[in-house]
Amino acid sequence: MNETLKRSISGAIYIVLLIASILYSTESFFILFGVFLIIAVYEFCELVHLHKIFPIFIAALSYGSIAYLSINKIRLSNNFDLTLLLATLVISIKCIIFLFSEKKEKIDAVSKYVFLIGYIILPFIILTKIPFGIKGYNPKIIIGIFILIWTNDTFAYIVGKSIGKHKLFERISPKKTIEGFLGGIIFAIIASFLISKYYIEGGKVAQNIWIGFAVIVGIFGTIGDLIESKFKRIAGVKDSGKIMPGHGGILDRLDSVIFVAPFIFLFYQILNYVTFS
């Protein structure tokens, strides 16, 4: 089969499955992302050479517990959410330091588990908290975030391919350019305006919030993609897996959104604090 056709078909199946599961019900949303999490943990363990059984057990237990509580509308305290967020952000900073480190990386056993928890498992849990607002589950929020991710990725590639001349981070990702990076953010902001005006329909306040989301997605989505690229470069592989023909693995598809999730959630918390303080 032609490679472009194969890539188009697998990409279309992924998008339809993702949107259908998010829209159908809370349960289908949690099930799909639970499956994604298990596959992502498996792929990450392959990349960093970790035994898989214990990490998969920990991921399934922690994610399953949060999913059960959310589906049954059992709310945990805000302190739990903030502790979860803080732990994830600390490890996100460790990931950024790891990305910019120029020394030849050999990841020690402790760091492998720290990255597993803070780069994979906790961001997936935080991601599932994003569509839950005051009025309960709102699938439009998470779909809107994915639209911003896809817009940023697509136009970063198009702009970079068309006019990109200055390398963004050649040591890790030779094809990424500064022009592509900026183009991705600009088009994500345009998409955020359209989402807030025609999809979310929340007025001027919603427009400003979604512009904030777009900037976060553009910056931290790119960083998340680069971090995964560094893990792959150390492992000496092109893709994290082969589950999606033409696209690679689940981590290759979700690296941006899982790294973005805690920063979107942090933005949520800041907005709530400003609004209600």
* Predicted confidence (pLDDT) per residue in 243-259, tens digit: 877 678 899 999 999 99
Would you put residue 244 in left (φ > 0), alpha (ψ -120 to 50) or beta? beta
- The first and second tokens of residue 157, run together, are 């590639």
228 touches 123 (CB < 8 A): no
Per residue in 150-168, pLDDT (tens digit) is 999 999 999 999 999 999 9
- Looking at the chain, the whole-number percentage of residues with pLDDT higher than 70 is 96
Confidence at 206, pLDDT banded by 50, 70, 90? confident
- Over residues 173-187, the pLDDT tens digits come to 988 999 999 999 999
**Are the C-beta atoms of 254 and 40 separated by less than 8 Å?**
yes
Q: Report, as an integer, the average pLDDT of 123-137.
A: 88
- Do residues 257 and 138 lie in contact, with contact meaning Cβ atoms separated by under 8 Å? no
Q: What is the pTM of this model?
A: 0.92
Nearest CA to 160 out of 143, 141, 173, 142 is that of 173
For residue 127, give the DSSP letter: H
pLDDT at 268 over 90: no
Helix axes 26-48, 250-276, angle to 10 degrees: 120
Distances (CA, A) of 236 to 92, 168, 221, 239, 256: 23, 21, 22, 9, 20
Burial class (CB in 10 A: 0-12, 13-18, 19+), 204: exposed
Q: What is the pLDDT of residue 254?
A: 93
Say if residue 238's pLDDT is above 90: no
SS3 177: strand
Q: What is the pLDDT of residue 277?
A: 54
Provide φ and ψ at 9, rounded to 5°: -65, -50
pLDDT at 204: 80
pLDDT for res 203: 75
- How distant, in Å, are the alpha carbons of 12, 67, 77 from that of 84? 33, 15, 11
Pair 119, 43: CB distance under 8 Å: no
Q: How far, in Å, CA of 208 to CA of 210, rounded?
A: 5
H or E element in which residue 168 lies: strand 167-169
**Please, which pLDDT band fits residue 3 given cuts at 50, 70 and 90?**
low
Q: 81-103: per-residue pLDDT in tens?
A: 899 999 999 999 999 999 998 77
